[in-house]
Amino acid sequence: MSDIATQTTTPSNSSVVLEVRGLVKEYRKAGSPFKRADTFEAVSNVSLDVRQGEIVCLLGESGCGKTTLARMIMHLTRPTAGTITLNGCEMQGLNERRFRPLRQYIQMVYQNPFDCLDPSRRVGSLLEEPLKLWHPELSKEERTRRISGMLQECGLDESCLVKKPRQFSGGQLQRLSIARALLVDPKLLIADEIVSALDVPIQNQILDLLVRMKEEHGFSVLFITHDLSVARKVSDRVIVMHRGEVVGFGATDELLENPSDPYIRKLADSVFTFEGCPD
């Protein structure tokens, strides 16, 4: 394991929820369907840990491999090499049937809320679905009680239940996506560019909600963004990716305020320039 990989991880005795070691995903280059030599690594030897109750940010430009990494953790994309351990349970090699019990422990919220909220269904049914799936022991009344409580915690009310997703604003849809993900008490929430399509004031509301819910419920977050200012607002630690590789890591303030790596300095400089511009 490289030096960088070793240091993005944590000592074995700390409370690690997610452990990723030497993860690789190789894809064929576009237009080269046959030659094995014509492949590239979308994710290249990435190792990281997420501890209980922390928000770790995966920061990097578009195309650097963030979503591919998330999809491997979600068991949606098969790694070329490496291991993923969730709550002490190694996931590679598990078929879908054996992975299924673990699925409720990792939930994902996407940039596009329609990736998890079917626009043709009412919100009540969309919120009830994961509870029926993962908690079949709950009565209808208990499900309704949990959903009402979660909506309230997420700044929504029961009038949502009869509406369809297209009747909501972007910010409300992300509140609903977060509510749906948290209803099953995940240990790890993967948030993939969840505020990228929102205006800054709404972004801030959603980030505040995420941090507050994390404090109250104690789950961990792998927060994926290309936006350094967003990373600074929410994360305890940050891991910077560039072209599939980890190029930097550390406590968010330390790393982003005194960047030693030239690529991170470039990222930081572009944000400071942007923030310095008048509206």
- Cα(36)–Cα(48) distance, integer angstroms: 28
Structural contact between residues 143 and 128, judged by C-beta atoms closer than 8 angstroms: yes
Residue 27 touches which of ligand ADP, Mg ion, none (CB < 5 to 8 A by kind)?
ligand ADP
Residue 149 Cα distances to 25, 167, 205, angstroms: 40, 21, 19
Minimum distance from residue 29 beta carbon to ligand ADP (Å): 8
Among 16, 23, 42, 150, binds ligand ADP (CB under 6 A): 42
**Dihedral of alpha carbons 72, 77, 78, 81, sign:** negative
d(CA 47, CA 83) in angstroms, rounded, equals 9
Q: How far is the CB of 84 from Mg ion (least distance, A)?
A: 18
Distances (CA, A) of 97 to 36, 75, 93, 239: 31, 12, 11, 32
CB 264 within 8 A of CB 240: yes
Q: Which is nearer to ligand ADP, 49 or 245 (CB)?
A: 245
3 state SS of 115: helix
In this complex, which beta carbon is closest to Mg ion, that of residue 4 or of residue 43?
43
27 or 263: whose CB is closer to ligand ADP? 27
b/e per residue, 60-71, with b = 16+ CB within 10 A?
Answer: beeebbbbbbbb
Q: Which residues bind Mg ion (CB under 5 A)?
A: 67
CB of 206 to ligand ADP, least distance (A): 19
Contact between 27 and ligand ADP by CB under 6 A: the answer reads yes
Q: What is the dihedral of CA 106, 109, 111, 113, to 10 degrees?
A: 140
Binding of residue 183 to ligand ADP (CB under 6 A): no
- When CB distances are held under 5 to 8 angstroms depending on the partner's kind, the choice from Mg ion, ligand ADP, none that residue 68 binds is ligand ADP
Q: Binding to ligand ADP (CB under 6 A): which residues in 53-112?
A: 60, 62-68
Query: Looking at beta carbons only, is 148 or 196 nearer to ligand ADP?
Result: 196
Instruction: Choose among ligand ADP, Mg ion, none what residue 65 binds, the Cβ cut-off being 5 to 8 Å by kind.
Output: ligand ADP
- Check binding of 8 to ligand ADP (CB under 6 A): no
Nearer to ligand ADP, 179 or 189 (CB): 189
With CB cut-offs between 5 and 8 Å by kind, which of ligand ADP, Mg ion, none does residue 237 bind? none
- Which of 5, 4, 50 is closest to 23 using CA atoms? 5
Note the residues at the interface with ligand ADP (CB under 6 A): 27, 42, 60, 62-68
